Structure 1
Amino acid sequence: MDTTPLLQEVDSLEATVIIDNELDPMSPAAPDTVHLSGQIGSIAVRPDSKISGRGDAIYELRMGNICCAAHGLSILITATKGDKKHSVLFDAGPEEDAWERNVQRLRPDLASVEVIQLSHWHRDHSGGLLRAIRMIKDAKRAQGISDNLVVDLHPDRPVYRGIALPQQIVSLEADPTFEEISQTGAVIEENDETHTILDDMFLVSGGIPRVTPYETGLKGAVRFDSESGEWYSDELIADERFLAVNVKDKGLVVFTGCSHGGVVNATKHAMKHMPENTLLHCVVGGFHLATSDDMQVQKTVADLKRLDPAVLMPGHCSGWRSKFAIEKAMPGTLVPCTVGTSITF
């Protein structure tokens, strides 16, 4: 029997993409999907972009206010229900300088962040974590509020992860350690089971059941055993967890880190935690199809179509082929998850 607390409906949801592989500050969203802000038009008319002495021109579009893409993911997610508002940082991108640079350009309210959830232990999601914690705590202190900050982590942190190629193994950079995270002053909460946080407005999954025959994990993934000095298979990436929010009159919005376990598996598992009549509104984040063959892309898109989302926002490791296939199969549902945009549901 599922004992997970019931995920509460929220009145509105906003997500600001701090890190993603793709930059596109110009393309509009498809009609009747989401509202996008933070694109080049709004960047151009910021108060600090005002100029004089150029005739009728009173603003200057400054390139230094446009975010930069990086291989990874980080999304600041804010949910509002009545007079309550809560914010979660979902992942922290690949490296500290990229995260700080884009935050300085986006200027989000870092002091509002109460929880950081790491989707899984891979450096392109954890690399900016330590600086993100420090900057969030600094922002809280600057506003004279408590600098309490929780970091929600899966307890199974590999020493190193890597990819086994035909002739050699390539090691990934290590994720921050529990000790390094604790030294920032953040409070670590280790979770490998599904749970809700922040007045039950966010659901954080546990392990994602593998129910599709074609979503089999990350091919060639290995992890290092420091005691034996050997690498062994780690293709399931079993520590990956998604984040979900139920938006009133819309439905469930699911945020995925990489979908190593499969974006269809993740979405189906998210929907199982909801009442039977709940609609799937949107899936945002990594679909991990960039290196998949055409058969897996087509099967994934076909199963996503059966789940009947109103919007799909593939980003990070999704790849252009999957976006093309989604737009072809479900015209009008695609809104790429690009860095620098704020999405309002």
Structure 2
Amino acid sequence: MSAPVFHPGSTDITPGRARRVGGSARLQRARDAVRAYLGLTKTRIIEQLLVVTVPAMILAERGIPSVWLIAATLIGGAMAAAGAHALNCVVDADIDAVMKRTSRRPLVKGQVPRRNALVFGLALAAVSSVWLGLTTNWLAAALSLVAIAFYVLVYTLLLKRRTAQNIVWGGAAGCMPVVIGWAAVTGTVEWPALVMFGVIFFWTPPHFWALAMRYKDDYAAAGIPMLPVVASPAQVSRRIVVYSWAMAAWTLLLLPVTSWIYAAVALLGGGYFVFRAHRLHAGVRAQREVAPMRMFHLSNLYLCVLFAAIAVDAAIGLPVLPWPL
């Protein structure tokens, strides 16, 4: 009997090819799992948190801290934020499934089991605190734990589904990176760190309410009482104006420890931010079609530029301005 002939188009797979196909499939599954777990951490938000941490450290040092200290603080801060976000995804899985904006998150799509996400978040929170304690100091580690607990327990579990003031008070967790960065350098928490905390505190409502105006129907469908869901558009835009003024004024409290570089950015940038807030409010009152996402994107740019000015100002070491101006 003659041996069988295998043609190039045959579907038979040799053992070597089978191993390669199996290896490729396992590699693809591993990549998909990594992407899914990264999706739990909301990496874009982490980037924003780290952007404000380094300038706070530079201001605390009045110069450039050691590269190792900056790296250790950023690694610890990134793990802490990632853990908090993963735990947030676990708690909010039901509303994420309803909202179009969040419907592709890993828990909603079944890419990560809920229990695994919970363990992942708790592990990151614990490891980040130990890391910060061993590589920076235990005050920074304790503040990191406070931020995680506040975000998960106070904002996500207590405030988010119960009050339109959720993002006002819950947003305090997002203000903590500047305080953690300051503590990592100095081992203390001093008034400039609290001023930077306040800048982000007053910045958060205009930033988030602009986003919530765009996704009002999403939040309404999920039963989340974000301000644009429970208040009229004019009431929302009016509060955006109020918080924008408060933020712009609060930034000036850093003038005693900065030079003309920061002063110029704070005055011009804050003035433009307030102008855009008033413009949004005027459009809403006139019942014109407005684009709240422009305000949202502007707020991201504004915060980055303002804190970049803090970093450049402190790194250069120019004489501080006389106070009062």
After TM superposition, is the score higher than 0.5? no
More strand by share: 1
More helix by percentage? 2
Larger RCO (CA under 8 A, 6+ residues apart): 1
What TM-score, normalized to structure 2?
A: 0.30
TM-score scaled to structure 1, two decimals? 0.29
Look at both structures and tell me which one has the larger radius of gyration over its CA atoms.
2
